[in-house]
Structure 1
Amino acid sequence: MMKTLEPQPQEVKDNLEELLKDLDEKIPPKQLDRNLLIATWNIRGFGDLTRVWMSKEGDTPRRDLHSVHCIAEILRRFDVIAIQEVKSNIRALRDTLKILGSEWSMILTDVNQGDAGNGERMAYLFDTRRVNLSGLAGELVVPDEWRNGVSKNVMQEQFVRSPYAVSFRSKHQTFILITLHVLYGKKSTDRINELKGIAQWLSSWAKDINAYHQNLIILGDFNIEARGDLLDQTFLSEGLYIPEGLQSKEVSRSIFNDTKYYDQIAWFNGANGQPKLSLEFVRGGSYDFVATALKNRGLTKQKLSFMMSDHYPLWAEFKL
């Protein structure tokens, strides 16, 4: 069995060099004490991997060392990344952490039980040279009082995959990230209650003057179908804000369909009595790896999605 940090074959090395050049052109550089780069990425079925440099037809899983190195180099460009679809087997995640090096760390949930939870965890990877934990970590649950409500849009059950909140500190700024992976369901209306529930939960938290910290940023896979659709409006109904830079049609979420609006990064901007985020948003976008990562492998998009992902990473840069 090959090891993650063994010398790379030349064709892998060449592809990684091309990927690094592309990342240099498309992702802002990290600037000491000046900026903060936050990202979210649903990495498809991020669990086991085949420890060879280039997997072949019949290998299970198809994700290999080449693809994990590509994933790691993309993640390296950010300071803290929320990752969805981490599976019970975390071999690929552990290998990714090895590639990133000793300055990187992670914190993650246990596995969501039940069929609807799909055996997933949620995780954060972070560069400890620029970001550190600041003391709070927990999963969000729906209060009984809300579940006993009479509105048709009140959640009647707990979140299928509990949103995961963790507080971080960078320079003088402390902030709480809340990541989630909303239930997809059989139809789009199945997602409304979870989106409404998380928005209501965060609005209540943001207005609580005794809260641990009010710099709240929510990010993850919300399974919102399209810009401006019912789910989008439901999610934003409690005052959450998505900047124009992340709403642009140029900022794609899915490698298969540019119109999908699944992944989001949002916060409160001071409207409706909620506190204003103290971090200043600079710019944001998604990173399209399709034309570069594993370019030499001749993969279809479908095969690429199982080795990299079917989602693009979504990122936001803030001024410190």
Structure 2
Amino acid sequence: MATPLDVLFADPAHAPADGDVPRAVVEEMRAYSAYLDGLVPPKRDIDRNILIATWNIAHFRSLTRKWAVPASSDDSPKRDYRCLWAITEIVSRFDVVAVQEVGADFRALRSAMKVLGPNWSFLMTDRNAGQGGNDEHMAYLFDTTRVSLSGLAGELVVPDEAAEFGFDEESFKRQFARNPYAVSFRTRDTTFILVTAHVDYGDEDVERMPELRGIAKWMRDWAANERRWHHNLIVLGDFNLERSDSRLYEAFVETGLSVPFLLQSHPRTIYGRASEPEAASYHDQIAWFAEGEAALIGLELADGGIVELWGRLLGDLDLTKASFSFRISDHHPLWVEFRLPS
């Protein structure tokens, strides 16, 4: 039975060790594709909309070359071809996806790019070494039929004069654990700079608070400057925030960064509850400056939300949420749709 992953299997070295795709997997992915059809707006003409997402794909590293790794198995990693199919099905619905937690073993990433096809490309950071960096990369996966690179790609580096960014020199370790990664994209008439981050999940006062304040201050100054060139600045990623009335959230928004209202009612991880979306982790955000000299130009927010994972995928395996996170993720993809100038 044909699947999107068949392109991988043209190389016998990538053929699944357990044979043909199980019918249950095909049926699950048909249902999940239908769910995505009803959730994510279609990619319209290039001058009509743009779809942007951020996703911490937990431990996005290697891949077991099987269709089905049972719940109890010695196979490692637990992420298999079934999971890869789900991940690529989600990514394919967007124009640009900022991905956090790409590991040093690129088998899953390379396989995903092969499945997405020749019109997809990616850029990523160097490996973030050290305890806070966790040997991770951050990446942008993007559909080249919809967007192109406009020239800028780089990491945000804090200067020695740390006090200029709103914190005492003694309170900041002089560099981010994982430097926020900025890349500029363009459609036919619109340029936008995405800045993705994965804030250090450490002590609130020593690690997280200084990084959040540093990012927010940097974004305000940079957004105001880029607006003069008719460029838009959007920040997205895993900020390891807590609920919206916490000190961490206030540090994130204190310079004017705004999380759109339509994203605020969605739980960010599979551990959150739809009835209380901010009661648990509120890590992932997409934000920009809505007012003043740093506000967006020519981008009108049209839609947004999360892509549900838990309860829709791998249901037959009777997994715990912790086990599920090693196969798909514990973070929901978070996304927005913008209308573009006519």
> For the superposition of Structure 1 and Structure 2, which TM-score range results when normalised by the shorter chain?
over 0.9
* Counterpart residue number, 1:24: 37
Residue 238 of structure 1 aligns to a residue whose secondary structure is coil
The amino acid of 2:291's aligned partner reads G
Selected match of 2:260 from 243, 247, 267: 243
Selected match of 2:202 from 181, 185, 189: 185
Residue 267 of structure 1 aligns to a residue whose secondary structure is strand
* Counterpart residue number, 2:67: 53
Task: Work out the CA distance in 1 between the residues paired with 2:67 and 2:326.
Answer: 15
* Counterpart residue number, 1:35: 49
Identity in percent: 47
Q: Give the CA deviation at 1:211.
A: 7.3
Residue 257 of structure 1 aligns to a residue whose secondary structure is coil
* Counterpart residue number, 2:104: 88
Task: Work out the CA distance in 2 between the residues paired with 1:78 and 1:255.
Answer: 21
| 83 and 209 in structure 1: CA distance in 2 versus 1, 3 angstrom threshold | closer
Unaligned runs of 5+ in 2: 1-12, 274-278
Residue 25 of structure 2 aligns to a residue whose secondary structure is helix
* Counterpart residue number, 2:284: 263
Residue 134 of structure 1 aligns to a residue whose secondary structure is strand
Residue 112 of structure 2 aligns to a residue whose secondary structure is helix
Q: Give the CA deviation at 1:283.
A: 1.6
* Counterpart residue number, 1:44: 58
* Counterpart residue number, 2:15: 3
Within the alignment, does 1:133 sit opposite 2:149 as a pair? yes
**Paired residues, number:** 316
- Judge conservation of contact 1:35–1:318 (CA < 8 Å) in 2: yes
Q: Give the CA deviation at 1:186.
A: 3.5
- Judge conservation of contact 1:15–1:295 (CA < 8 Å) in 2: no
Instruction: Return 218-227 or 256-265, whichever deviates more.
Output: 256-265
- Judge conservation of contact 1:188–1:225 (CA < 8 Å) in 2: no
- Judge conservation of contact 2:239–2:284 (CA < 8 Å) in 1: yes
Q: Give the CA deviation at 1:144.
A: 1.3
Selected match of 1:145 from 155, 161, 169: 161
Q: Give the CA deviation at 1:234.
A: 0.7
Residue 208 of structure 1 aligns to a residue whose secondary structure is helix
Task: Work out the CA distance in 2 between the residues paired with 1:235 and 1:143.
Answer: 20
Within the alignment, does 1:301 sit opposite 2:321 as a pair? yes
Residue 96 of structure 1 aligns to a residue whose secondary structure is helix
| 303 and 35 in structure 1: CA distance in 2 versus 1, 3 angstrom threshold | same
Residue 215 of structure 1 aligns to a residue whose secondary structure is strand
Residue 92 of structure 1 aligns to a residue whose secondary structure is helix
Unaligned runs of 5+ in 1: none
| 213 and 88 in structure 1: CA distance in 2 versus 1, 3 angstrom threshold | farther
Q: How does 1:107-118 map to 2 (within 5 A)?
A: 107-118=123-134
Task: Work out the CA distance in 1 between the residues paired with 2:226 and 2:77.
Answer: 48
Q: Give the CA deviation at 1:305.
A: 0.8
Q: Give the CA deviation at 1:66.
A: 0.5
The amino acid of 1:129's aligned partner reads T
